[in-house]
Structure 1
Amino acid sequence: MFSRLRTIEMPVDEYLKKFSHLNTDKSRRRWSEATCHRAPHKPFLLLSIMDLIAQGQIIENFFEPSFELVDTWNGYWQAIMPINKHSTMAYPFPRLQSDGFWHRVANPGYDADADYNVSSMARLREIYVGARLDDRLFALLMDPVTRELLRSTLIQTYFSAEVQPFLEDQAFVNLAAFTYAKDVIAGIKESTESFAQGAPEIHRVRDQGFRRAIVSLYDHRCALCGIRMRTPEGHTVVEAAHIVPWSESHDDLPANGLCLCRLCHWSFDEGLMSVGRKYEVLVSERVRIDSNMPGHVLTLRDRPIFKPEAERFWPGQENLTRHRTSCFV
């Protein structure tokens, strides 16, 4: 029994040491005390992978540079980094190989062991199909207990005591929002109503979960104009919008949601656009007033909206009627 325990413990000790000695930039000029004067890119990538494993989105030892992984990495970056400091997951993804447990998998025509200059997600996806971890490390990450040990090592090693709670909150929000999004899609109204009150973290869970559910149901396409644009860095032009405001409805279910681009979202909230009884686009005559130049918005009038494939996810006419009567003019 003792020897079996030792075989389990030794890999944990090995990877705890490796996680606490990642090859990172240590320029005090570039990195603040919040990240212990070290580049946080690699810790953020490992934390993001742990989150997707905890959510059940990763079940095999292979990691694509997917939009879900990029979005999670961006969430960690935005949680603690200055708003004017930008970066991309393209930096740590290929460079983590230098730490001895991460193994790049190249696309045909490229060498996984060659050090290419990668500074954008487009270039990353051109060269690499993904990456793998040591099998022993992946097994440790699949176990909740050892996964949390490794997560704690990353947070405590590379981030100041003041920042650590924000990263722990981010991990909680990521997991809870994933669960919340599944409940939204499943139509569990009791789950969404339970989030009517709560701490700021609870509001973040609801916001992130609602966005994840609605945007995925519409496949990142604006319901009113049909535009779909995603950058390689994981940014999307669309947002999740409530038909009846959350403050009035406490309803995050798909029947009260629309996926809208920023222009259509603003126009919808301002009552300049709506959706008719036959799911056609409505455009208010107010768009023509004064010196307005509505451009393509006028061409959308009477066109059918873009809806999810399954009818149960379509916007509810009861909610749309309320928007038409109380907001649209």
Structure 2
Amino acid sequence: MTDETLKSLTALRVGRSRGRLAANKPCLLLAIICEIQNGHINTPTVAIDDRLLARYFDLYEAATGDRQSANPHLPLWHLKGDQGVSGALWEPVFDSSIAHVANSLGQPKSLKGLKALFTQAVLDSALFSAFQNKQMAHNASALIVAHYFAEDPQQHALNTYLANALESGDYEKHPDSLVGEVKETHQQQARSAAFRTLVLEAYDYRCAATRLRFITPDYRYLVEAAHLIPFAESYDDRPTNGLALTPNLHWAMDNRLIAPGPDHKWHVSPILDDFMPDNAWLQQLHGQAVVLPRAKRWQPDQQALAWRMDHLLR
């Protein structure tokens, strides 16, 4: 396999926006490359799911500085008009009830409208194979950026995002490697990105204390990935050393006001006055069950939970 395979990536039919080549299709392909490299997409049949869409929004924002204008339904629909190595670059898997009229359908007006037509598409098999190879994935990303964003003032931010995303993919595929001291800044950034992705996905983007789950229309998440034993002390970015928490509860745990215990219940610091109304939002957590990931392999480490209990303010 050579870089000849990637030539079709420079032949996308793209429009122009504000005097520059439109970012929609290039960003969708970059998102697919990232998700193949982190192991989320492992066949040419690509699911149009939350992870892919969030990645697309991230890349569009990195490329343009404008997250609100991303409109993923546009490239997801129009990419089917581009050629891959040996045929269509992107073939939607239309619902059987509309497959016979698919070619006559007009462009959907929203992501919801698009998902009513298809939720999967098949990527050109030669490109899929190329994107599975780490070096080819890097080459493909560099080629797309150089061709479609050559004069873009955001090019540096886009390259930085891609370098971090592709390196974090190695960690996501091998989460046991997310432990040990790191000296290089780029490695720490990649590890942090992998930690965040693995923790939030393990908890299905739901808070481990309140069960709150919210994803904005432009795919920002309410919850954050919180270390149980702080990284500065543990050098441990494995998802078993993390929880998904809303920002206020992340702050409360880091300030030792609350702790998830080895009994899988929440505990509140006794220094908090029961009779102070302002403390009620924390007091109500006491004794509540910790929301755990469904997969046991991602459930919090007992020693990490014990560390939190030992450091609760007394």
TM-score band, normalised by shorter chain: 0.7 to 0.9
Moved more, 93-102 or 136-145: 136-145
**Deviation per residue, 1:262-299 (Å, 9 max, x gap):** 3322332333322235221123463767662745x544
Give 1:325 shift.
4.4
**Deviation per residue, 1:222-249 (Å, 9 max, x gap):** 2112233345654332221012322233
Pair 1:89 & 2:80 matched: no
**Counterparts of 1:58 and 1:84 in 2: how far apart (Å)?**
23
**Counterparts of 2:94 and 2:217 in 1: how far apart (Å)?**
18
Query: Any stretches of 5+ residues in structure 1 without a counterpart?
Result: 1-7, 32-36
Structure 1 segments, 4+ long, off by >6 Å, are: none
Pair 1:179 & 2:170 matched: yes
SS at structure 2 position matched to 1:278:
coil
**Counterparts of 1:144 and 1:248 in 2: how far apart (Å)?**
32
Pair 1:125 & 2:88 matched: no
Give 1:157 shift.
1.2
Query: Any stretches of 5+ residues in structure 2 without a counterpart?
Result: none
**Counterparts of 1:147 and 1:256 in 2: how far apart (Å)?**
30
Pair 1:48 & 2:38 matched: no
Please name the residue that 1:34 is paired with: none
Please name the residue that 2:188 is paired with: 203
Give 1:136 shift.
4.9
Contact 1:12 1:140 in 2 (8 A): no
Give 1:73 shift.
1.7
**Counterparts of 2:133 and 2:192 in 1: how far apart (Å)?**
29
Please name the residue that 1:3 is paired with: none
Give 1:86 shift.
4.1
**Counterparts of 1:118 and 1:279 in 2: how far apart (Å)?**
45
Please name the residue that 1:228 is paired with: 213
Give 1:42 shift.
0.5
Please name the residue that 2:55 is paired with: 72
SS at structure 2 position matched to 1:118:
coil
Structure-2-length-normalised TM-score:
0.80
- Partner of residue 193 from structure 1, selected from 180, 184, 203: 180
Change in CA separation of 1:246 and 1:128 when aligned onto 2, cut-off 3 Å: same
**Counterparts of 2:297 and 2:138 in 1: how far apart (Å)?**
38
- Letter of the 1:22 partner, please give it: L
**Counterparts of 2:55 and 2:173 in 1: how far apart (Å)?**
17
Count residues in correspondence: 304
Give 1:40 shift.
0.7
SS at structure 2 position matched to 1:127:
coil
Change in CA separation of 1:63 and 1:81 when aligned onto 2, cut-off 3 Å: same
Contact 1:272 1:287 in 2 (8 A): no
Matches for 1:152-301 after TM superposition, within 5 Å: 152-160=142-150, 163-184=154-175, 186=176, 188=177, 191-195=178-182, 197-199=183-185, 201-231=186-216, 233-284=218-269, 286=272, 292=278, 294=280, 297-301=282-286
SS at structure 1 position matched to 2:106:
coil
SS at structure 1 position matched to 2:120:
strand
Change in CA separation of 1:139 and 1:254 when aligned onto 2, cut-off 3 Å: closer
Matches for 1:2-151 after TM superposition, within 5 Å: 12=4, 16=7, 18-28=8-18, 37-82=20-65, 85-100=68-83, 101=88, 102-110=90-98, 111-113=101-103, 114-120=105-111, 122-138=112-128, 140-141=130-131, 149-151=139-141
Change in CA separation of 1:324 and 1:99 when aligned onto 2, cut-off 3 Å: same
Pair 1:305 & 2:295 matched: no
- Letter of the 1:227 partner, please give it: L
Output the aligned Cα RMSD: 3.3
**Counterparts of 1:84 and 1:134 in 2: how far apart (Å)?**
28
SS at structure 2 position matched to 1:91:
helix
SS at structure 2 position matched to 1:63:
strand
Identity %: 25
**Counterparts of 2:203 and 2:300 in 1: how far apart (Å)?**
11
Structure-1-length-normalised TM-score:
0.76
